[in-house]
């Protein structure tokens, strides 16, 4: 077995009944889907429900899912709420609220129901589609739109919000505060929708609770400071925290919100965002700005990253720090623009011509989008190299209630600032061959140290050269500065506190980390203990640190969300993995589910029991 691929067919994804018991989940949680045609207000209702849950002291997240249409089409807000922080969706949904059924059947694979689920639809719409009815879920028809119509000026989605909030036992005061805080129209409209909200709450009181009658776990009072934030916002804020003051970018789904958040935020702190004519321009603009001494960033998705590759090579050769956040979506080509996939990894780690060392990082959660983007900027600046941050649609466009990330810097790390040169340094050479490989950079405006930054191979002074010895010297220097840097402990999250003595490790990266962590915990509850290694720094590959992380490990299982097992193949090429490495890889856009991963981990470990006994 070299690749152990589990490729569930559509029907398999609904197989939560065969999954480990819910009690194995790390904490009680409730999952809610609000679906309907685009424009029916499902995203607003979902966002307000999440906000109200936050006000009630809960944690949770909301994932956005929509079809390819700009307006109209189908839309679903997928929520999961719990008394503790969450980074992943659950296997199935306890409650589905359908504003209407137009094309909502397209979510059949995403909104998995069980016999204990509750589905509420509008009694004036067509009945529940067979794809949902076949789950055996309880179905309740209510005249949602008629009830809203009876309150002039109110919207059916606010009535639905009241219904959902009531069924989840979220206090009326929290729901009302969320609605009031978001309201930007006249008071008459607010009063009408507050009335609709209360009507929904009253209707919910008549309905038997969700999740087989179990109420949402009692909310703990909030401790410390908590945030409501999306991964795109967190990445943008992390960039500003690290000193980014210039952004040039071209709009692209699902990265646009990162840019739309940064535009006004940058202006507030003395920076600026420029909308470029295309991605070729945006990446070259940030290279120009960074050459000028201003930490710079762009954000894009796979198609934009593809256009940027030539210039990323320029940033390697001319040693100009830049950061590119790639909010990954389904690929190749235009692919599935509004849905998630981890398909750009191979491209990010190897997609440049020539020998071109670059940094590639990936956040491990919505909250971690902040710290990882901040670190990416610091590394790019310190190493005068391009850094690619692999976020994705799941993290970027989802909103989560998180504990405020600590400000703490990694004090063990070397300097995170750009090394510059003072004025009038005699015999200044921009690309001097230093021990660390990092050479002091002259910032335009500094007298006596002028130079020309060049994408042509050059000698130490920056003069173009096609001589073998200059080429080798600069190739060595550019590789050495990334390979010899002390990255500290942040390169990976290694979680083995509860699995001491286990000789098995699951390796993953990016947005699926939360799901993998949950599966590892469920497997542990079933007596199968494995170490979790979630990579944050993907390139350069760090064989020595990896060897430490894998100390005592005899077999690894690589988990990722793409079709080609890209992380698995990359690690097999770069790292001396023990035993017979196994792979779990499934493409987007369906999220990996904790139950399928738990089953896969348990099966993987049970399958090797004879081997262990043999040894």
Give the interface with another protein as residue ranges (CB under 8 A): 54-55, 222, 225-229, 233, 237, 240-241, 245-246, 248, 263, 265-274, 276-278, 280-282, 284-294, 296, 310-311, 313-314, 318, 401, 404, 424, 442, 444-456, 462-464
Cβ count within 10 A of residue 233: 22
Looking at beta carbons only, is 216 or 402 nearer to another protein?
Answer: 402
CA–CA separation, 469 vs 459, rounded Å? 9
CA–CA separation, 528 vs 521, rounded Å? 9
Q: To the nearest whole angstrom, how small is the minimum distance from the Cβ of residue 554 to another protein?
A: 43
Looking at beta carbons only, is 39 or 444 nearer to another protein?
Answer: 444
Looking at beta carbons only, is 332 or 448 nearer to another protein?
Answer: 448
Contact 402, 337 (CB under 8 A): no
CA–CA separation, 301 vs 253, rounded Å? 7
- Secondary structure, 3-state, 88-150: CCCCCEEEEEECCCCCHHHHCCCCCEEEEEEEEEECCCCCCCHHHHCCCCEEEEECHHHHHHC
| Distance linking the first and last C-alpha atoms of the chain | 18
Task: Copy the structure tokens of residue 201.
Answer: 């709450």
Alpha helices in 225-367 (DSSP H): 231-241, 256-268, 279-291, 302-318, 345-350
Q: To the nearest whole angstrom, how small is the minimum distance from the Cβ of residue 488 to another protein?
A: 23
Q: To the nearest whole angstrom, how small is the minimum distance from the Cβ of residue 581 to another protein?
A: 38
Q: To the nearest whole angstrom, how small is the minimum distance from the Cβ of residue 229 to another protein?
A: 5
Q: To the nearest whole angstrom, how small is the minimum distance from the Cβ of residue 397 to another protein?
A: 16
Closest CA to 373 of 340, 396, 356, 351: 396
Looking at beta carbons only, is 147 or 297 nearer to another protein?
Answer: 297
CA–CA separation, 326 vs 300, rounded Å? 5
Q: To the nearest whole angstrom, how small is the minimum distance from the Cβ of residue 221 to another protein?
A: 12
CA–CA separation, 554 vs 562, rounded Å? 25
Looking at beta carbons only, is 82 or 240 nearer to another protein?
Answer: 240
Q: To the nearest whole angstrom, how small is the minimum distance from the Cβ of residue 238 to another protein?
A: 11
Looking at beta carbons only, is 36 or 238 nearer to another protein?
Answer: 238
CA–CA separation, 160 vs 497, rounded Å? 43
CA–CA separation, 502 vs 523, rounded Å? 13
Q: To the nearest whole angstrom, how small is the minimum distance from the Cβ of residue 453 to another protein?
A: 5
- Secondary structure, 3-state, 167-227: HCCCCHHHHHHHHHHHCCCCHHHHHHHHHHHHHHHHHHHCCCCCCCCCCCCCCCCCCCCEE
Looking at beta carbons only, is 55 or 106 nearer to another protein?
Answer: 55
My answer on whether omega of the bond before 254 falls inside 30° of 0, hence cis, is yes
Q: To the nearest whole angstrom, how small is the minimum distance from the Cβ of residue 269 to another protein?
A: 6
Q: To the nearest whole angstrom, how small is the minimum distance from the Cβ of residue 83 to another protein?
A: 15
Looking at beta carbons only, is 93 or 246 nearer to another protein?
Answer: 246
Looking at beta carbons only, is 160 or 465 nearer to another protein?
Answer: 465
DSSP code string of 539-578: ES--HHHHHHHTTT--EEEEEESSSS-HHHHHHHHHS---
Q: Please identify which residue in the block is written with the tokens 């979220």.
A: 170
Looking at beta carbons only, is 233 or 495 nearer to another protein?
Answer: 233
């Amino acid at each position: 077995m070299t690749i152990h691929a589990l490729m569930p067919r559509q029907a398999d994804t609904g197989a939560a009944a065969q999954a480990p018991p819910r009690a194995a989940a790390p904490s009680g949680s409730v999952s809610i889907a609000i679906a309907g045609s685009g424009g029916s207000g499902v995203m607003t209702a979902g966002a307000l429900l999440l906000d109200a849950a936050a006000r009630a002291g809960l944690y949770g997240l909301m994932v956005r899912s929509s079809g390819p249409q700009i307006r109209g089409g189908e839309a679903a807000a997928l929520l999961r709420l719990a008394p503790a922080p969450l980074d992943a969706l659950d296997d199935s949904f306890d409650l589905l609220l359908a504003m209407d059924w137009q094309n909502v059947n397209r979510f059949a694979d995403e909104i998995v129901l069980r016999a204990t689920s509750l589905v509420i639809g509008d009694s004036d719409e067509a009945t529940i589609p067979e794809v949902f009815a076949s789950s055996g879920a309880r179905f309740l028809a209510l005249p949602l739109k008629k009830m809203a119509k009876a309150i002039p000026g109110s919207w059916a989605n606010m009535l639905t919000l009241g219904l959902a909030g009531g069924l989840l036992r979220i206090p009326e005061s929290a729901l009302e505060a969320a609605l009031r805080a978001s309201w930007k129209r006249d008071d008459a409209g607010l009063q009408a929708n507050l009335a609709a909200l209360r009507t929904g709450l009253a209707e919910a009181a008549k309905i038997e609770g969700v999740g087989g009658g179990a109420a949402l776990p009692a909310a703990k009072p909030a401790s410390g400071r908590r945030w409501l934030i999306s991964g795109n916002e967190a990445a943008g804020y992390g960039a500003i925290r690290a000193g980014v003051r210039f952004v040039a970018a071209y709009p692209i789904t699902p990265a646009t919100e990162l840019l739309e958040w940064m535009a006004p935020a940058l202006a507030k702190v003395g920076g600026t965002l420029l909308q470029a004519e295309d991605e070729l321009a945006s990446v070259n603009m940030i290279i120009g700005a960074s050459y000028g001494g201003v930490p710079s960033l762009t954000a894009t998705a796979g198609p934009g990253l593809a256009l940027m590759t030539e210039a990323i090579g320029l940033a390697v050769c001319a040693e100009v720090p830049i950061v590119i956040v790639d909010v990954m979506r389904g690929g190749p080509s235009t692919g599935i623009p509004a849905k998630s996939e981890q398909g750009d990894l191979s491209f990010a780690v190897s997609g440049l011509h020539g020998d071109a060392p670059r940094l590639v990082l990936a956040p491990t959660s919505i909250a971690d989008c902040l710290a990882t983007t901040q670190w990416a900027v610091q590394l790019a600046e310190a190493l005068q190299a391009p850094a690619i941050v692999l976020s994705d649609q799941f993290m970027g466009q989802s909103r989560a209630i998180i504990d405020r990330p600590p400000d703490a810097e990694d004090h063990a790390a070397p300097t995170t600032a750009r090394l510059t040169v003072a004025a009038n340094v005699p015999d200044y050479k921009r690309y001097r061959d230093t021990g660390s490989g990092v050479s002091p950079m002259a910032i335009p405006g500094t007298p006596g140290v002028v130079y020309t930054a060049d994408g042509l191979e050059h000698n130490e002074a920056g003069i173009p050269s096609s001589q073998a010895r200059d080429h080798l010297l600069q190739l060595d220097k550019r590789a050495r500065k990334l390979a010899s840097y002390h990255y500290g402990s942040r390169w990976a999250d290694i979680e083995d506190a509860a699995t001491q003595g286990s000789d098995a490790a699951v390796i993953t990266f990016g947005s699926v980390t939360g799901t993998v962590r949950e599966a590892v915990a469920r497997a542990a509850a079933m007596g199968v203990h494995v170490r979790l290694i979630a990579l944050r720094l993907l390139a350069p590959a760090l064989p020595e640190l990896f060897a430490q992380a894998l100390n005592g490990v005899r077999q690894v299982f690589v988990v990722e969300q793409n079709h080609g097992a890209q992380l698995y193949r990359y690690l097999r090429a770069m790292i001396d993995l023990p035993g017979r490495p196994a792979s779990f890889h499934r493409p987007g856009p369906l999220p990996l589910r904790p139950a399928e991963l738990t089953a896969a981990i348990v099966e993987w470990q049970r399958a090797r029991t004879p081997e262990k006994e043999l040894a």
